[in-house]
Amino acid sequence: MSIRITHNAFRTPAEADVGVTQAGLIRLELDVPPVENSAHWHDFHAELYVLDGDLYFTDVAEGKIHACQAGTKIVVPRYSLHAEVSRGGYHIIFGSSVPPEQFGEPVNRSPESLKQ
């Protein structure tokens, strides 16, 4: 499965909550500070619902950078290479396939470790 980005996917936090619940994911609400990270992957499935702020999300496999605003839904399957940039930070509802205490370390894993 590949990364999927849908703009104008929802209008309210309640609609995002429904998406997380229907996907059977664990809900978190996060204020992410300004960030610029390189390509990485996670050992869990995640869905991001952008509520506010600026987020430029790179789908490494597609070689595309997506400008994500409030209402954007991002589905990131386990092992999918991606990167994020945000100059001012962003606020999201985050759905995860595992609880945060079970996130592997490091959470952001290098592309090289994906090949192992």
CATH of the domain at 40: 2.60.120.10
The pLDDT of residue 65 is 98
Domain membership flag for residue 105: no
Give how many domains the chain has, as a whole number.
1
3-state helix, strand, coil in the chain (%, to 5): 15, 40, 45
The pLDDT of residue 1 is 72
The pLDDT of residue 20 is 98
Domain membership flag for residue 28: yes
Domain membership flag for residue 116: no
Domain membership flag for residue 113: no
Domain membership flag for residue 40: yes
Cα–Cα separations (whole angstroms), residue 55 to 21, 68, 78, 88: 23, 5, 20, 9
Domain membership flag for residue 81: yes
pLDDT in 10s for each residue of the chain, 116 residues:
799 999 999 999 999 999 999 999 999 999 999 999 999 999 999 999 999 999 999 999 999 999 999 999 999 999 999 999 999 999 999 999 999 999 989 999 999 998 75
Range of the domain at 40: 4-99
